[in-house]
Amino acid sequence: MPDRPRTVAVVLAGGIGVRVGLGIPKQLIKIAGKAIVEHTVEALSASPLVDEIIIMMNAASLSELDHLLSADRFPKLSRILPGGPTRSDTTQLALAAIDGDDTKVLLHDAVRPFIDQRIISDCVQALDRFDAVDTAIASADTIIRIDGDGRIADIPDRSTLRRGQTPQAFRLATIRRAYELASADPDFHATDDCGVVFRYLPEVPIHVVDGTAENMKVTEPIDVHIADKLFQLQSASLALDTRPESLPDLTGKVVVVFGGSYGIGASIVVQAQNAGATVREFSRSTTGTDVTSAKQVRTALRRVADELGRVDVVVVTAGVLKVAPLAETTKRDLRLTIETNLTAPAMICRAAYPHLRSSGGQIILFTSSSYTRGRAGYSTYSATKAGVVNLTQALSEEWAAEGIRINCINPQRTHTPMRTAAFGEEPADTLLDAEDVARVTLNVAASDLTGQIVTVQVAAMRR
């Protein structure tokens, strides 16, 4: 049986990001701790059907991606080349860099980081039967065509309309020939590679595979916020897909838990040990450790590092919840809430930094569903939990180059002594079990996620 044709994925990253309005090329905007183009390359690299990846980068920002040319991180990424002044120019430069008329070529927008493995597989396999393949989704909106006076001239049947996405996939000889013919046309203009084949090689059928709504293009300022939320939802799906009985293998890992004397923290200690980790727990009640004391936190981490030689995962579950209107909250309770729930996580992150940089480790913080909206009765608590989310997202960017990951667990209502003290006894079927939250936390600890807010929901854990 002859060898299968090679598949080369070309990541088109030549844009300058004018519309997104953030002052840098949109493909370099960081979401979930990484530049958008990095997420895209990761998705393509994960496909066993992709043999090689080439990035066509905005020439003025070419050096910004040099760090990706690491054999360890992206062994399939062979080259980062300068793009041209237009999309079609960039495509033609990419085609000139690829050998073999029968090579399968996937042209994909760098700012579509949510491409999934099914789309990649469908495109590559479709090239066994077709020479050109597009990716598209049905239009949920009615499309109108207007005339020169801005009036509706036509309303096409929506059932036959599709919204184009990428990848667009071709046999190399086909897309090269289409561009050769286009180059001879003085009126040539295209923003779409399938459009070039459609116009200049009308005899070549273009097959369409189904895209997904998530395979969006980050183009406008609002798209950045939507993309950030999609990454959060993706990491949340890791939590929802984690069944209560599943534990990762943490053999050889050293896990430090601050606030592990009861509740979720205590469950994490037990489950981490069950997963094979060596665990050290620090809290006021068990070790006399005050998490609001930078000195005591540094001492605790140094003690673990000296004893065990490393620190791989730091989990911070310590927190306080004082329910009272702000005007009636004592100064002591106000200070305690802020120092324990926000200042302490920041100090622990700072103290853990050198240890996690050495191990390439991860820190996991905890927030609450109230971070999305302050609620009467615990306004300061909600404010501190929102601060923890922002701390997580900011540090994921600050620490990305050092290989340190940071994530935040957002459990729904959980049956813990702290919650019972604040709200009294509640129906058991409305609360999460601390052990379920612990298992999700440890699966996040074993993952490559960073900068994510991982939501654990009651309904999902009851399925």
Query: Which residue numbers are catalytic?
Result: 381
| Radius of gyration for the alpha carbons in the chain, expressed in angstroms and rounded | 26
Is 36 within 8 Å of 227 (Cβ atoms)?
yes
Element (H, E) at 168: strand 162-171
439 vs 380: CA distance, rounded Å: 29
278 vs 218: CA distance, rounded Å: 42
Return the biggest CA–CA distance within the chain. 79
Element (H, E) at 12: strand 7-13
170 vs 106: CA distance, rounded Å: 7
**Among 18, 67, 46, 50, residue whose Cα is nearest residue 113:** 46
Pairing of strands 152-154, 145-146: antiparallel
3-state secondary structure of 51: coil
Is 366 within 8 Å of 411 (Cβ atoms)?
yes
314 vs 365: CA distance, rounded Å: 9
- Edge-first strand listing for the sheet containing 362-366: 278-282, 254-258, 313-316, 362-366, 405-411, 453-456
Element (H, E) at 176: helix 172-183
Is 414 within 8 Å of 440 (Cβ atoms)?
no
Place of tokens 């309303």: 155
**Among 358, 375, 252, 276, residue whose Cα is nearest residue 324:** 375
Q: Provide the 10 A C-beta neighbour count for residue 431.
A: 17
371 vs 369: CA distance, rounded Å: 5
- Please classify residue 373 by burial: count the beta carbons closer than 10 Å to its beta carbon, then call 0-12 exposed, 13-18 middle and 19+ buried: exposed
Place of tokens 């005899």: 203
Q: What is the DSSP string of 380-433?
A: HHHHHHHHHHHHHHHHHHHTGGGT-EEEEEEE-SB--HHHHHHH----GGGSB-
387 vs 375: CA distance, rounded Å: 15
